[in-house]
Amino acid sequence: MDETGALELAAQAVGYATACGADAAEASVTIARRFHAEARDNVVAKLEQATAKSLHVRVFSGGRRASLTTTDLTADGLRAAVARTVASAAHVARDPLGGLPDEFASDSPALHLFDASVEARDAGEKIEEALALERMTRAYDPRIVNSSGSHYNDATSITALANSAGFAAAYSSTRAGRSTSPVATEADVKRTASYGTAGRHLGDLESAHHVAEMAGRRTVELFGARKPTTMRVPVIFERDVAAGILEDLLAAVSAANVAVGNSWLAGRLGERIGSAHCNVVDDGRLDGKLGSAPFDGEGVATRRTSVFEAGRLHAFLADTYYARKLGVAGTGNSNGNGVGANSFYLEPGKATLQDLIASTPCGVLVLDTIGFAHEYASGTYSRGARGFFIRDGELAYPIDEFTVAGMYPEMLAGIDGVAGDLRFDGAVVSPSFRVAEMTISGS
Amino acid sequence: MIDESTLARVIARALRRGGEFADVFCERRTSQSLRLQDGNVHEAACGLVLGVGIRVISGESAGYAYSDDLSLEALLQAADAASHIARGGNNGIAEPTLRHEAVASWYDGLRDPADSARYADLLARADVAARAYDPRVVAVNAHVGDELQEVWIANSEGRVVHDRRPMVTLGVQVVAGDAQERSSGYVGDGGRTSLAYFDDHSPEALAREAARIAIVNVSAVAAPAGEMAMVVGAGGGGVLLHEAVGHGLESDFNRRGTSLYSGRVGERVASELVTIYDDGNLPEERGTINVDDEGVPGQHKVLVEKGVLRGYMQDLLNARLMDAHSTGSGRRQSIRYLPQPRMCNTYMPGGESSVEEILASTERGIYAKSFAGGQVEISKGDFVFMIGEGYLIERGKVTAPVKNATIVGNGPDAMTKVTAVAGDSRLARRHYTCGKGGQYVPVGVGMPTVKISSITVGGTRHDG
Among A49, A403, A405, the residue with its CB nearest the CB of B65 is A49
Between the alpha carbon of residue B322 and those of residues A183, B328, B342, B394, B439, the distances in Å are: 20, 15, 17, 49, 24
A73/B406 Cβ within 8 A: no
Burial of A416 (0-12, 13-18, 19+ CB in 10 A): middle
CATH of A3-220, one of 3.30.2290.10, 3.40.50.720, 3.30.420.40, 3.90.930.12: 3.30.2290.10
A48/B48 Cβ within 8 A: no
- Is A153 touching B (CB cutoff 8 A)? no
What's chain A's length in residues? 443
The Cα angle at residue A269 between residues A267 and A274, in degrees rounded to 5: 110
Burial of A188 (0-12, 13-18, 19+ CB in 10 A): exposed
B182/A264 Cβ within 8 A: yes
Dihedral sign for Cα A289, A106, A14, A26, please. positive
- Is A393 touching B (CB cutoff 8 A)? no
Residue A244 three-state SS:
helix
Residue from A334, A368, A370, A437 whose CB has the most chain B CBs within 10 Å, to mutate: A370
- Is A230 touching B (CB cutoff 8 A)? yes
A92/B382 Cβ within 8 A: no
Give the CA dihedral B49, B326, B265, B233, nearest 10 degrees.
Answer: 40
Among B33, B49, B46, B31, residue whose Cα is nearest residue A59: B46
> Longest C-alpha distance within chain A, in Å?
71
How far is B96 from chain A, CA to nearest CA, in Å?
Answer: 24
Q: In terms of DSSP H, where are the helices of B242-280?
A: 251-255
Residue A240 three-state SS:
helix
Q: What mean pLDDT value characterizes chain A? A: 96
Render pLDDT for B265-293 as a digit per residue (tens, 0 to 9): 999 999 999 999 999 999 999 999 999 99
Residue B349 three-state SS:
coil
pLDDT surpassing 80 at residue B110:
no
- Is B87 touching A (CB cutoff 8 A)? no
Give the C-alpha separation, A363 to B62, whole Å: 46
Angle in degrees, 0-180, between the axes of helices B72-83 and B4-14, rounded to the nearest 10: 30
Give the C-alpha separation, A45 to A194, whole Å: 18
Among A246, A395, A250, residue whose Cα is nearest residue A335: A250
Domains, chain B, with CATH or none:
4-100 (3.30.2290.10), 116-146+164-218 (3.30.2290.10), 225-458 (no CATH)
Among A131, A129, A125, residue whose Cα is nearest residue A39: A131
pLDDT surpassing 90 at residue A238:
yes
- Contact present, B428 and B287 (Cβ < 8 Å): no
pLDDT band, residue A101 (cuts 50/70/90): very high
- Chain B environment of A70 (Cβ under 8 Å): 46-50
pLDDT surpassing 90 at residue B206:
yes
pLDDT of residue B117: 80
pLDDT of residue B111: 67
- Chain B environment of A40 (Cβ under 8 Å): 60, 256
pLDDT of residue B91: 61
Chain B, nearest residue to A84 by Cα: B46
How far is B284 from chain A, CA to nearest CA, in Å?
Answer: 26
A262/B260 Cβ within 8 A: no
Among B116, B338, B376, the residue with its CB nearest the CB of A91 is B116
pLDDT surpassing 80 at residue B115:
no
- Chains A and B form CB pairs within 8 A to the count of 270
Buried-state track B66-91, b at ≥16 Cβ within 10 A, e below 16 = bbbbbeeeebbbbbbbbbbbbeebee
Give the C-alpha separation, B164 to B107, whole Å: 9
pLDDT of residue B113: 65
pLDDT of residue B90: 61
pLDDT of residue A329: 92
* DSSP classification of residue B246: I
Between the alpha carbon of residue A191 and those of residues A291, B180, B251, B257, B378, the distances in Å are: 32, 42, 18, 12, 9
How far is B104 from chain A, CA to nearest CA, in Å?
Answer: 30
Question: Taking the mean position of all CA atoms in its chain, how far away is CA A23?
Answer: 34
- Chain B environment of A241 (Cβ under 8 Å): none
How far is B37 from chain A, CA to nearest CA, in Å?
Answer: 7
pLDDT band, residue A353 (cuts 50/70/90): very high
Q: What is the mean pLDDT of residues B363-369?
A: 95
- Contact present, A438 and A233 (Cβ < 8 Å): yes
* DSSP classification of residue B245: I
Give the C-alpha separation, B394 to B141, whole Å: 35
> Longest C-alpha distance within chain B, in Å?
73
| Residues 358-377 of chain B whose Cβ lies under 8 A from any Cβ of chain A | 372-377
- Chain A environment of B64 (Cβ under 8 Å): 46-50
Among A190, A260, A261, the residue with its CB nearest the CB of B258 is A190
| Residues 250-269 of chain B whose Cβ lies under 8 A from any Cβ of chain A | 256-258, 260
- Is A110 touching B (CB cutoff 8 A)? no
B141/A260 Cβ within 8 A: yes
* DSSP classification of residue A202: G
A43/B61 Cβ within 8 A: yes
pLDDT surpassing 70 at residue B114:
no
Give the start-to-end residue ranges of the domains of chain A. 3-220, 224-443
- Contact present, A390 and A396 (Cβ < 8 Å): yes
B62/A46 Cβ within 8 A: yes
pLDDT of residue B108: 84
- Contact present, A118 and A82 (Cβ < 8 Å): no
pLDDT of residue B109: 73
pLDDT of residue B1: 84
Buried-state track A6-41, b at ≥16 Cβ within 10 A, e below 16 = bbbbbbbbbbbbbebebbbbbbbbbbbbbbbbbbbe
Render pLDDT for A182-222 as a digit per residue (tens, 0 to 9): 999 999 899 999 999 999 999 999 999 999 999 999 999 99
| Residues 204-223 of chain B whose Cβ lies under 8 A from any Cβ of chain A | 217, 223
- Is A97 touching B (CB cutoff 8 A)? no
Render pLDDT for B64-96 as a digit per residue (tens, 0 to 9): 999 999 999 999 999 999 999 997 666 667 889
Q: What is the mean pLDDT of residues A406-429?
A: 97
Tell me which amino acid residue B213 is: I
Give the C-alpha separation, A428 to A435, whole Å: 19
pLDDT of residue A39: 98
Dihedral sign for Cα A373, A379, A384, A390, please. positive
A353 φ/ψ angles, rounded to the nearest 5 degrees: -60, -40
pLDDT band, residue B116 (cuts 50/70/90): confident
- Chain A environment of B225 (Cβ under 8 Å): 230, 403, 405, 439-441
Render pLDDT for A29-72 as a digit per residue (tens, 0 to 9): 999 999 999 999 999 999 999 999 999 999 999 899 999 999 99
Dihedral sign for Cα A436, B458, A380, A251, please. positive
pLDDT of residue B464: 47
- Contact present, A438 and A232 (Cβ < 8 Å): yes
